[in-house]
């Protein structure tokens, strides 16, 4: 699969007397198509990376390729295939959304049909003739995305597009990003709303102190190297079967703890999940339940960064 974004050894250092590396040797590959989540705690280098991607700042070293083109050498040759929402765009509040986009389209040489298409894509066609001053924050965010969609880009780079939105606005943004990704575009989005990322993105990268510490599909990150399973032993009246199960599993090197609800939690890699059933059956202990417990992206993020769930 071709890469929409290829970042190699990216480094950005600020200051000369006491240099600080905001991004420190970042390697990142983003395949074409779908929604890609870019996560990391505050100060991890997310915004610096995005600003370097769109040419707002020059990296100290390393390279960035977007759609196969080196950003430092030839960004203008592909700029019409890239849409960026890095800072909240400004619109004329007294004008309608349609008029704002028509003015922008006219300045860039786009047709009125492009305005209608962009408004329809973000779900604002019915409110397109309303003044922007009466728009909610979520509607303004969608209008900002409509503005970058005028050129029908292959790659969208969005920095915190759901920031500050209410639940309804977050849902609208989630549906919009999914729809854009399903069209075959590549949506590169940074966000601190981890539950939304889990529901919206196909793939995720986690950055800590300017370096990528995880990159893969959401399913791969949630599965991890060890998965907890909940097991239940049929009640034998005196609880001895459960005690024997605990002793047997621990004797085979498996971590076991009680879940507080009459069951047991066993930490085991996916490749060894069948061992739980086998070692217990050898001791004539038979399971009533063996269920994997899916982790949340927030739990994975905490494990990787040590941050309490804020990206």
Out of 3-12, 71-80, 135-144, 229-238, pick the least confident.
229-238
pLDDT band at 192 (very low <50, low <70, confident <90, very high): confident
- Alpha helices per DSSP H over 3-155: 46-53, 71-74, 97-108, 112-121, 137-149
Q: Which residues have C-beta within 8 Å of that of residue 94, sequence separation ≥ 6? A: 131, 132, 133
Mean per-residue pLDDT of the chain: 89
Residue whose token pair is 């907890």: 228
**What pTM, to 2 d.p., does this model score?**
0.79
Architecture in CATH for domain 3-222 = 3-Layer(aba) Sandwich (3.40)
pLDDT at 300: 83
Tens-digit pLDDT profile for residues 158-183: 998 988 888 999 999 999 999 999 99
**What digits encode the pLDDT tens for the residues 287-298?**
888 887 777 788
pLDDT grade for 224, boundaries at 50, 70 and 90: low
Q: What is the chain's length?
A: 311
206: nearest Cα among 214, 198, 216, 196: 214
23: Cα separation from own chain's centroid:
19
Bridge-partner residues for 29, per DSSP?
Answer: 6
The confidence band for 114, taking pLDDT boundaries of 50, 70 and 90, is very high
51/39 Cα distance (integer angstroms): 15
User: With 70 as the cut, is the pLDDT of residue 1 above it?
Assistant: no
What are the residue boundaries of the structural domains of the chain, listed by start? 3-222, 226-292
CATH number of 226-292: 3.30.70.120
Residue 307: pLDDT band with limits 50, 70, 90: low
């Amino acid at each position: 699969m071709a890469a929409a974004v290829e970042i190699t050894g990216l480094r950005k250092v600020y200051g000369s007397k006491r240099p600080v590396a905001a991004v420190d040797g970042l390697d990142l590959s983003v395949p074409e198509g779908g929604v890609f989540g870019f996560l990391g705690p505050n100060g991890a280098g997310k915004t610096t990376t995005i600003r370097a991607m769109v040419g707002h700042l020059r990296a100290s070293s390393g390279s960035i390729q977007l759609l196969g083109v080196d950003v430092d050498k030839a960004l203008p040759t592909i700029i019409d295939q890239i849409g960026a929402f890095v800072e909240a765009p400004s619109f004329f509040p007294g004008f309608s959304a349609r008029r704002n986009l028509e003015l922008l389209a006219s300045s860039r040489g786009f047709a009125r049909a492009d305005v209608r298409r962009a408004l329809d894509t973000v779900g604002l066609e019915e409110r397109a003739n309303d003044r922007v001053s009466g728009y909610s924050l979520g509607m303004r965010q969608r209008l900002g995305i409509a503005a970058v969609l005028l050129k029908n880009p292959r790659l969208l780079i969005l920095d915190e597009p759901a920031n500050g939105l209410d639940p309804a606005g977050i849902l609208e943004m989630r549906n919009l990003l999914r729809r854009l990704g399903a069209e075959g575009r590549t949506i590169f989005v940074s966000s601190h709303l981890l539950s939304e990322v889990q529901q919206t993105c196909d793939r995720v990268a986690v950055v800590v102190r300017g370096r990528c510490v995880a990159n893969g599909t959401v399913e791969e990150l949630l599965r991890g190297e060890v998965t907890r399973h909940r097991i239940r032993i049929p009640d034998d009246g005196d609880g001895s079967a459960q005690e024997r199960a605990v002793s047997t599993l621990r004797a085979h090197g498996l971590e076991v703890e009680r879940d507080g609800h009459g069951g047991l939690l066993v930490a085991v890699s996916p490749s060894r999940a069948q061992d739980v059933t086998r070692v217990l059956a050898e001791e004539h202990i038979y399971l009533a339940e063996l269920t994997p417990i899916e982790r949340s992206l927030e739990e994975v993020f905490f494990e990787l960064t040590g941050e309490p769930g804020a990206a």
